[in-house]
């Protein structure tokens, strides 16, 4: 089986949410109204979060779906255990740097009921998943509209 690697989609919306937190800190540091140590800790935390966003990878290889962070902490599940893929905007903590996600449903009795992921090249990911496991039920709609801010994801 051919190995396919997909990076995580990074949400513009999440960056917009994090920006107002960082911007006042920078302004206070420039005006001298904040302790240098606290500023560096907060900026370091923000940089750490951004590096987490950019390090998420999803891989379809060897009959498994694998997701990892910078090549460490790999989680894998057999493709045969995946029964469905659906669109989700669930904000629960997950290995996804976007709110526009795919909900991967696993077979009953598997250690997890589902996983939330957000591959950047979503259609290519779905095609590779369907090719590797033709029994997967895929229901991912992409309704467009001016009210759908979720479509801002890159």
Closest to 57 (Cα-Cα) out of 118, 133, 122 = 118
- Fold topology of 4-12+52-152: PH-domain like (2.30.29)
Q: Region 140-153: what's the mean pLDDT? A: 60
DSSP letter string, 2-70: --EEEEBP--HHHHHHHHHHHHHHHHHHHHT-S-HHHHHHHHHHHHHHHHHHHHEEEEEETTEEEEEET
Q: What is the pTM (predicted TM-score) of this model?
A: 0.74
Q: What is the pLDDT of residues 35-77, one digit of tens each?
A: 666 667 777 777 777 777 777 888 898 889 888 877 676 788 8
Q: Please say whether the beta carbons of 61 and 4 come within 8 A.
A: yes
DSSP H/E element including 134: none
**For the chain, which residues make up each domain, given as ranges?**
4-12+52-152
């Amino acid at each position: 089986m051919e190995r396919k690697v997909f990076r995580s989609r990074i949400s513009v919306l999440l960056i917009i949410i994090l920006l107002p937190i960082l911007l006042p800190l920078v302004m206070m540091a420039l005006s001298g109204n904040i302790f240098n140590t606290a500023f560096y800790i907060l900026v370091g935390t923000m940089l750490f979060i951004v590096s987490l966003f950019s390090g998420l990878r999803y891989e379809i290889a060897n009959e498994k779906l694998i997701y990892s962070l910078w090549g460490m902490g790999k989680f894998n599940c057999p493709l045969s255990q995946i029964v469905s893929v659906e669109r989700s905007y669930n904000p629960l903590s997950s290995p996804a740097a976007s709110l526009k996600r795919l909900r991967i449903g696993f077979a009953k009795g598997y250690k997890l009921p589902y996983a939330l992921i957000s591959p950047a090249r979503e259609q290519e990911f779905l095609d590779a998943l369907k090719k590797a496991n033709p029994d997967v039920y895929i229901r991912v709609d992409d309704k467009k509209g001016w009210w759908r801010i979720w479509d801002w994801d890159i």
